[in-house]
């Protein structure tokens, strides 16, 4: 563009020429006057030339603007991709032929673009007055849609805003991306988690057939998904599968678990698998490590299930059968010796169970405390305050074992005394948030977990020792078994033996549920140590108010989904957790009831106790709302005081569970 000039740009020339003219007039008036006229003429010519230049410059700019407008219009009308313009109401005011070709109808003028393409919110775009992009799909074609919003209120237009959308076909990129995602390798680790037990239960002449059939079912199953399968131990398999195939398997809810469970070659124990699956986006090494972690989680939850890592969470499939008891006691012996060494190496030991402790929690804690005292180490049980579920045993401890009673300390005291060289032992719980004092876990790197509940997604980071056996009746059973390997002499007092026995009794419902050979072996050990069943029975005696409350809960029971009982305790009683648990147990005694749930107000939360005969996994149901536990005994706590809201959440979780087809 030419620069605009005026006479001021020639001021130095005028000043110089004027000085010369004045000088000539002074020395030669005639020549000076002639020079004056000549100078004036030149000034006139310059002014005229500048004016003409201005006119020519304006014409050139006008011509460029006209050409640019013509080029712009031509470019817009001939763009190689669909284009549409809308007004301030989102109505279409102009479109090109390529945009019209997207749709089957020819009447789209004045249509609202949001109605034509629901994924485009024109109101939101116009309100924000921002340019941007969207990914949309129209008739199975993927488009990267760019939009520009323009304020036209200052123009001659009668509109305030206009938006222009242009659509770039992105289908090829999406196809490449979907191919990349679909073929991304996922690592799967599989373990036949009761291989030895199943083999031992199979007639000798059928064992080769059973082994071959297991291999055949697993290999053929993944062959259908073009997966790579490698067996590297009798009971271990490594599988590399595509992400797309994994999605198909997830849609079928890992039906491989059912295929193996139904395998019958004379084995009296059904074959169950534990499967760990890595998440999307990792390299092969990290995927292998993650799949191994998921497999550990599946085993820790009792086996017969698949655990899939999804971003920062886990998805669980299966887990609908009872964990099979393993008769091999080597693990208990090894862990018992390891725990003894950890206790010997610690300055002091702190033991804690879960919030709202029950008989199993406090009983196993008392048992572990005896193991600590047997090693001549200082030990403490962390308990903020007793609750009605354990009042009887705490009162008896105060009367009969005063020195032992003094070793019960509060969370505040424990936090002030625990050090990095202390040992923290968690019993009857493996979730940090549900412990009596979660802050203790951060104060020491040495954390031991002894529990019989199935492991959940929330877990202590890097515990030094983990003993989680979902097949066990109770944590008290596990502790009793470990005690036999930690010292030649159990050295249990009659009270301590009663405490451990009470833990077994409460979780087995008087030896009628979740019992195995080792449950009775542990009970025999405690009987020999002086456990008195009459005194144990006295620990479970209730007062009249508790009995009346349970009767009220049972009276208000209603049946949902044909065979599931639900009831509630409306009042906020001190022993509401105990009442809900005992009421849920008694509801199972009703004919044709397969599972029961009781909701109760407990402080500033609502507690839910779930019980099952084994056909329905109350653990999987309550896990959906943040709880956990066993297949036939679980619980959850909800951060609300609205029983109706809590019941709606529970009913939704039950429906999801039933829709997933987890009922046997």
Tell me the mean pLDDT in the region 258-266: 86
Residues 265/213, Cβ–Cβ less than 8 Å:
yes
Q: Is 141 a residue whose pLDDT tops 50?
A: yes
Query: What DSSP assignment string belongs to 169-184?
Result: E-HHHHHHHHHHHHT-
**CATH classification at residue 600:** 3.10.310.30
Residue 110 belongs to a domain: yes
Number of domains in the chain: 5
Residue 359 belongs to a domain: yes
Most confident of 119-128, 300-309, 477-486, 567-576: 477-486
Is 358 within any annotated ligand binding site?
yes
Q: Which of 102-111, 143-152, 386-395, 522-531 has the lowest mean pLDDT?
A: 102-111
Q: Is 65 a residue whose pLDDT tops 60?
A: no
Looking at the fold, whether 363 and 429 belong to one and the same domain comes out as yes
| Class of residue 76 by CB neighbours under 10 A (exposed 0-12, middle 13-18, buried 19+) | middle
User: What's the pLDDT at 162?
Assistant: 83
Domain boundary among 60, 76, 92: 76
Residue 323 belongs to a domain: no
Is 607 within any annotated ligand binding site?
no
Looking at the fold, whether 44 and 162 belong to one and the same domain comes out as no
**CATH classification at residue 197:** 3.30.70.270
Is 589 within any annotated ligand binding site?
no
User: What's the pLDDT at 327?
Assistant: 42
β-strands 447-451, 465-468 pairing: parallel
Looking at the fold, whether 169 and 191 belong to one and the same domain comes out as no
Residue 324 belongs to a domain: no
Rounded to the nearest integer, the mean pLDDT of the chain is 85
Cβ–Cβ contacts within 10 Å for residue 100, how many?
Answer: 14
Percent of the chain with pLDDT over 70: 91
The order of strands in the sheet holding 132-138 is: 92-95, 83-86, 161-169, 141-151, 132-138
Taking the CA atoms of residue 128, residue 131, residue 134 and residue 138 in that order, the dihedral angle to the nearest 10 degrees is 100
Short-list 127, 101, 285, 220, CA closest to 114: 127
Most confident of 306-315, 471-480, 482-491: 471-480
Residues 637/656, Cβ–Cβ less than 8 Å:
no
Looking at the fold, whether 153 and 233 belong to one and the same domain comes out as no
pLDDT digits (tens, 9 = 90+) for 223-253: 999 999 999 888 899 999 999 999 999 998 8
Residue 35 belongs to a domain: yes
What's the chain's length in residues? 664
Tokens of 561: 């989904």
Looking at the DSSP assignment, which residues form a beta bridge with residue 229?
239
Looking at the DSSP assignment, which residues form a beta bridge with residue 629?
634
Q: Is 664 a residue whose pLDDT tops 50?
A: no
Is 360 within any annotated ligand binding site?
yes
Looking at the fold, whether 534 and 550 belong to one and the same domain comes out as no
Is 452 within any annotated ligand binding site?
yes
Higher local confidence (pLDDT), 61 or 251:
251
CA–CA separation, 229 and 208 (whole Å): 20
Domain boundary among 47, 76, 105: 76
Is 354 within any annotated ligand binding site?
yes
Domain boundary among 260, 284, 318: 318
Model pTM greater than 0.85? no
User: What's the pLDDT at 490?
Assistant: 83
Looking at the fold, whether 376 and 482 belong to one and the same domain comes out as yes
Residue 1 belongs to a domain: no
Q: Which of 48-52, 463-467, 489-493 has the lowest mean pLDDT?
A: 48-52
Question: Considering just the CA atoms, what is the radius of gyration of the chain in Å?
Answer: 40
Higher local confidence (pLDDT), 155 or 339:
339
b/e string for 472-491 if b means 16 or more Cβ within 10 A? bbbbbbbbbbbbbbbeeebe
Looking at the fold, whether 412 and 507 belong to one and the same domain comes out as yes
pLDDT digits (tens, 9 = 90+) for 416-470: 999 999 999 999 998 898 899 999 998 998 999 999 887 777 888 888 888 888 8
Higher local confidence (pLDDT), 213 or 162:
213
Looking at the fold, whether 495 and 565 belong to one and the same domain comes out as no
Q: Where are the beta strands (DSSP E) in 291-427?
A: 305-310, 313-318, 348-352, 378-382, 408-409, 423-427
Looking at the fold, whether 342 and 283 belong to one and the same domain comes out as no
Looking at the fold, whether 548 and 534 belong to one and the same domain comes out as no
Looking at the fold, whether 576 and 628 belong to one and the same domain comes out as yes
Phi-psi label, residue 319: left if phi above 0, alpha if psi -120 to 50, beta otherwise: left
Residue 664 belongs to a domain: no
Domain residues for the domain of 437 are: 330-538
**CATH classification at residue 448:** 3.90.1640.10
User: What's the pLDDT at 312?
Assistant: 76
Q: Is 6 a residue whose pLDDT tops 70?
A: no
Looking at the fold, whether 299 and 250 belong to one and the same domain comes out as yes
* Angle ∠(540,380,435) on CA atoms, nearest 5: 65
Tell me the mean pLDDT in the region 409-417: 94
User: What's the pLDDT at 509?
Assistant: 82
User: What's the pLDDT at 486?
Assistant: 87
pLDDT digits (tens, 9 = 90+) for 287-321: 999 998 888 888 877 788 899 998 877 888 887 65
Phi, psi values for residue 444, rounded to 5°: -140, 140
Q: Which of 88-97, 155-164, 616-625 has the lowest mean pLDDT?
A: 155-164
Tell me the mean pLDDT in the region 207-233: 92
């Amino acid at each position: 563009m030419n620069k605009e000039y005026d006479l001021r740009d020639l001021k130095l020339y005028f000043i110089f020429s004027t000085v010369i003219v004045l000088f000539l007039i002074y020395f030669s008036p005639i020549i000076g006057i002639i020079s004056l006229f000549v100078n004036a003429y030149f000034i006139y010519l310059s002014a005229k030339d500048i004016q003409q230049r201005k006119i020519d410059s304006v014409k050139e700019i006008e011509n460029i603007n006209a050409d640019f407008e013509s080029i712009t219009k031509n470019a817009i009308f001939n763009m190689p991709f669909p284009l549409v313009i809308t007004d301030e109401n989102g109505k279409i005011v102009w479109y090109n032929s390529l945009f019209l070709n997207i749709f089957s109808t020819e009447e789209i003028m004045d249509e609202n673009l949001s109605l034509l393409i629901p994924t485009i919110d024109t109101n939101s775009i116009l309100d924000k007055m921002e340019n941007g992009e969207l990914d949309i799909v129209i008739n199975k074609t993927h488009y990267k849609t760019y939009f520009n919003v323009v304020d036209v209120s200052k123009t001659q237009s009668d509109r305030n805003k206009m938006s222009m959308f242009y659509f770039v076909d992105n289908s090829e990129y999406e196809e490449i991306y979907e191919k990349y995602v679909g073929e991304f390798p996922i690592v799967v680790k599989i373990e036949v988690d009761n291989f030895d037990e199943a083999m031992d239960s199979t007639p000798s002449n059928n064992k080769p057939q059973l082994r071959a059939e297991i291999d055949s079912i697993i290999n053929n199953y993944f062959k259908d998904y073009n997966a790579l399968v490698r067996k590297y131990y009798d009971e271990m398999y490594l599988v590399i599968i595509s992400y797309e195939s994994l999605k198909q398997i997830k849609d079928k809810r890992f039906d491989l678990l059912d295929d193996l469970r139904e395998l019958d070659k004379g084995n009296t124990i059904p074959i169950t698998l534990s499967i760990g699956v890595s998440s999307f986006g990792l390299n092969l090494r990290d995927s292998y490590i993650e799949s191994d972690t998921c497999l550990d989680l599946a085993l820790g939850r009792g086996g017969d299930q698949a655990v899939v890592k999804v971003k920062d969470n886990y998805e669980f499939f299966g887990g609908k059968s009872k964990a099979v008891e393993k008769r091999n006691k080597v693990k208990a012996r090894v862990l018992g010796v390891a725990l003894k060494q950890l206790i010997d190496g610690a300055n002091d030991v702190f033991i804690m169970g879960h919030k709202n402790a029950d008989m199993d929690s406090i009983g196993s804690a008392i048992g572990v405390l005896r193991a600590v005292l047997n090693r001549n180490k200082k030990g403490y049980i962390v308990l903020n305050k007793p609750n009605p579920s354990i009042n009887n045993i705490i009162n008896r401890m105060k009367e009969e074992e005063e020195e032992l009673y003094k070793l019960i300390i509060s969370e505040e005291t424990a936090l002030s005394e625990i050090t990095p060289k202390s040992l923290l032992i968690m019993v009857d719980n493996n979730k940090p948030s549900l412990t009596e004092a979660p802050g203790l876990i951060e104060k020491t790197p040495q954390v031991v977990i002894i529990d019989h509940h199935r492991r959940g997604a929330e877990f202590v980071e890097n515990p030094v020792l983990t003993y989680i056996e979902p097949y066990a009746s109770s944590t008290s059973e596990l502790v009793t078994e470990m005690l036999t390997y930690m010292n030649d002499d159990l050295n249990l007092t009659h009270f301590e033996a009663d405490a451990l026995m009470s833990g077994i009794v409460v979780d087995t419902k008087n030896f009628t549920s979740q019992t195995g050979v080792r449950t009775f072996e542990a009970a025999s050990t405690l009987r020999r140590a002086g456990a008195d069943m009459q005194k144990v029975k006295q620990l479970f005696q209730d007062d009249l108010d508790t009995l009346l409350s349970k009767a009220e809960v049972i009276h208000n029971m209603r049946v949902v989904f044909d065979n599931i009982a639900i009831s509630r305790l409306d009042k906020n009683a001190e022993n509401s957790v105990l009442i809900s648990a005992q009421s849920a147990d008694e509801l199972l005694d009703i004919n044709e009831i397969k599972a029961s749930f009781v909701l109760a107000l407990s402080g500033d939360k609502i507690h839910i106790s779930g019980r099952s005969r084994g056909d329905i996994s109350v653990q999987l149901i309550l896990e959906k709302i943040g709880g956990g536990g066993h297949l036939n005994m679980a619980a959850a706590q909800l951060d609300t005081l609205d029983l109706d809201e809590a019941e709606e959440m529970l009913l939704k979780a039950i429906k999801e569970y039933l829709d997933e087809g987890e009922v046997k």
